[in-house]
Chain A
Amino acid sequence: MAEPLSARWGPYRAVVASRVRSQTSYRGGFALDLVSSLLVGVVQLAEVLVLFHSVDSLGGLDLAAVVLVFGIADLSFSLADLVVGHLDTLPVYLRSGTLDVFYLRPQPLLAQLVTSDISLRRVTRIVVAAVALGVGVAVNDIAWTPLHVAFLVLVVLTSALTFAAVFVAAAGVQFFLVDAAEATAAAVYGGRYAATQPASVWTGPLVAVFGFAIPIAFTAYLPVVALLDLPGPGWLPGWAGWLAPLAAVWMWGVALLAWRSGVRHYQGGGG
């Protein structure tokens, strides 16, 4: 550990730079990727808007508040997806036995996997999310103080960490499931969808899973309730949203536990 920090990160930087170059070399395909990725964000926002075309409020939130929830949830998920989203290709490595190659290199497994792919196409998702967040901030009547501003920035960052932890936890569980990869998609992409909803509409089992075990309610809905000074969902007081960063700490505890036990469980791909 005596090496300087820059020397330790050097290899990762070189790898990431090469991934970026390789993706931009086929221009036509890259452009279609960017457009598709933009469309994913637009369609997800459209689903929210279509629902509000028929109703004025949902779970105690009006359209303005829901756009703010969507903006925070989508921006933090997209940031996490950009950095660690490709962890969900782990089952491909597990099945083909190519994960063993990573074990041969003198770098931590998780760090290698994270730098194994950076999908630039996901950048356009971030643009849609940022626009939604900007609109959400503008159309809501919030008494902005420095504390509120700092809280909003902190929430986006810690929620991104929460989603990143969900990706890592899901990858850890993949070591056990391998073929049943879609089961963890329920947590990752179900979690993304859940994060854009007003959690006050959830029933018992959903509150247990996405309210507390995987603390998705803390990524966007509860912070918005806190910012707008609204009543809570019934199973938590309105001020609970201020505790949002704690959700990231909890989720990273779960994630590291899942990842460690997964790596320990792995027996190699044979050969």
Chain B
Amino acid sequence: MRDDGQPVQAAPHPTTPTPGAATWFRVHGRLVAAGWRRGSTYRAAALGGLVANVTFGFLKVSVLTAAVAAGGGELAGYDTRAVIAYAWLSQALLGSVNLFGRIDLAGRMKDGSVAVDLLRPIDLQTSTTAQEVGRALFSLLPRGVPIVVLALAVGGMRLPTDPAVLGAGLLSALLAVVVSHLVVYLVAVTGFWTVETRGLQVFYMVLAGFFAGLFVPVSIFPGWLFALAQATPFPSMLQTPVDLLSGRVVGGDAAVALLVQLAWLAGALALGQLMTRAGRRRLEVQGG
């Protein structure tokens, strides 16, 4: 494997034990950039992902438009153009939003190299997330943009032209990427206690895909299931950015949706800090 911690070395060590906000942003900015560069080295993988996303996009468009037609041109508030936008935008974001639960940190927890990460004078949670977000944002170029272009070429999709709506949509997509990686971090750091987290990762993948609205929009769930989904962070990872980007949710509702995303971000950040602190005391690395 080539992910041998290079990006971390690219970050300068802060000279003071309590760096200021400016230093924090400079260090994490460089980590995001390092993650971006690393994402750019896996071109073949990105192409493979694009093929998968496009295939699923066509399958989803066909079944969801048939469902709208069967519902008499409307399905729980979605018309044909809205449901096509939903299918394609969710596939476009899938390369960047982490619904699969896999993160490099899980491997580093298992082989013990996380001990080296913990010796660095930088927070494990924020540095890990910064690199993953950088890599995820790069994925928008080979996987997100081509799918949106394809969807517009194939036709039937609606995108907002109002810059305010589009801006809110892009902000929501960025928040979705960060929230997803912060929650996957929580899955990985259970490895402080269990070492092997593969079972939990599969569990996350199944629940995340369903409750994020990967195959069927969360908004067409029956009431009780919709309420259950809303109690999880998963709709904030896919349904929300797609709703905002497609202009289905605008104005005050969009502002509320963004606040909900921010709340999940803050919650995952706080829980991650607590778990990392508790886990540090648990950690025993063999052969150290």
Those of B17-70 within 8 Å (CB) of chain A: 42, 44-45, 47-49, 51-52, 54-56, 58-59, 62-63, 65-67, 70
Whether B48 lies near A33 (C-beta < 8 A) is no
Whether A50 lies near B221 (C-beta < 8 A) is yes
- In the assembled complex, the Cα of A185 lies from the Cα of B49 at a distance in Å of 9
Whether B67 lies near A179 (C-beta < 8 A) is no
Whether B63 lies near A29 (C-beta < 8 A) is no
For B, the interface residue count at a CB cutoff of 8 angstroms equals: 38
- In the assembled complex, the Cα of A178 lies from the Cα of B45 at a distance in Å of 9
Partner of B203, one of A32, A180, A209: A32
- The answer to whether residues A54 and B47 also contact, given A186-B55, A190-B55 and a CB cut-off of 8 A, is no
- The stretch that binds B, out of A36-44, A106-114, A260-268, is A36-44
Whether B45 lies near A43 (C-beta < 8 A) is no
B132 to chain A, nearest CB (A): 18
Contact with B along A151-195 (1 / 0, CB 8 A): 000000000000000000000000001111111111101100110
Q: Which residues of B contact A55 (CB under 8 A)?
A: 67, 70-71, 75
- In the assembled complex, the Cα of A184 lies from the Cα of B166 at a distance in Å of 34
Secondary structure of the B contact surface, majority rule: helix
- In the assembled complex, the Cα of A209 lies from the Cα of B71 at a distance in Å of 27
- The stretch that binds A, out of B194-202, B234-242, B267-275, is B194-202
Partner of A193, one of B59, B65, B202: B59
- The answer to whether residues A50 and B216 also contact, given A55-B67, A201-B63 and a CB cut-off of 8 A, is yes
B10 at interface, CB cutoff 8 A: no
- The answer to whether residues A197 and B63 also contact, given A29-B199, A179-B42, A186-B52 and a CB cut-off of 8 A, is yes
Those of A174-233 within 8 Å (CB) of chain B: 177-187, 189-190, 193-194, 197-198, 201-203, 205-206, 209
> Which interface residue of A58, A189, A209 has the most chain B CB atoms within 10 A?
A58
Q: Which residues of B contact A198 (CB under 8 A)?
A: 63, 66
A3 at interface, CB cutoff 8 A: no
Those of A46-82 within 8 Å (CB) of chain B: 46-47, 50-51, 53-59
- The answer to whether residues A180 and B62 also contact, given A54-B71, A193-B56 and a CB cut-off of 8 A, is no
Whether A58 lies near B203 (C-beta < 8 A) is no
- In the assembled complex, the Cα of A248 lies from the Cα of B242 at a distance in Å of 39
**Nearest A residue (CB) for B200:** A32
Whether A201 lies near B62 (C-beta < 8 A) is yes
B255 to chain A, nearest CB (A): 28
A32 to chain B, nearest CB (A): 4
Whether A54 lies near B220 (C-beta < 8 A) is yes
Partner of B63, one of A33, A57, A58: A58
Q: Which residues of A contact B44 (CB under 8 A)?
A: 177-180
B92 to chain A, nearest CB (A): 15
Partner of B216, one of A36, A51, A197: A51
- In the assembled complex, the Cα of A35 lies from the Cα of B199 at a distance in Å of 9
- In the assembled complex, the Cα of A67 lies from the Cα of B196 at a distance in Å of 36
A-B contact count (CB 8 A): 115
Whether B48 lies near A183 (C-beta < 8 A) is yes
- In the assembled complex, the Cα of A29 lies from the Cα of B47 at a distance in Å of 34
Q: Which residues of A contact B58 (CB under 8 A)?
A: 203, 205-206
Whether A36 lies near B202 (C-beta < 8 A) is yes
Whether B59 lies near A190 (C-beta < 8 A) is yes
Q: Which residues of B contact A36 (CB under 8 A)?
A: 199, 202-203, 206
A16 to chain B, nearest CB (A): 21
Q: Using a CB–CB distance below 8 Å, which chain B residues touch chain A?
A: 42, 44-45, 47-49, 51-52, 54-56, 58-59, 62-63, 65-67, 70-71, 75-76, 196, 198-200, 202-203, 206-207, 209-210, 215-216, 220-222, 225
Cβ-closest 7 pairs across A and B = A180-B48, A182-B48, A179-B44, A32-B199, A201-B66, A186-B55, A183-B48
Q: Using a CB–CB distance below 8 Å, which chain A residues touch chain B?
A: 29, 32-33, 35-37, 39-40, 43, 46-47, 50-51, 53-59, 177-187, 189-190, 193-194, 197-198, 201-203, 205-206, 209
- 7 extra interchain contacts, Cβ-Cβ under 8 A, other than A180-B44, A181-B48? A43-B210, A46-B210, A54-B67, A177-B48, A186-B54, A203-B62, A206-B62
Q: 23 A-B contacts, Cβ less than 8 Å apart? A: A29-B196, A37-B202, A39-B203, A40-B202, A50-B220, A50-B221, A55-B67, A56-B70, A57-B70, A179-B42, A180-B47, A182-B45, A183-B48, A184-B48, A186-B56, A190-B59, A193-B56, A193-B215, A194-B59, A197-B62, A201-B65, A202-B59, A206-B58
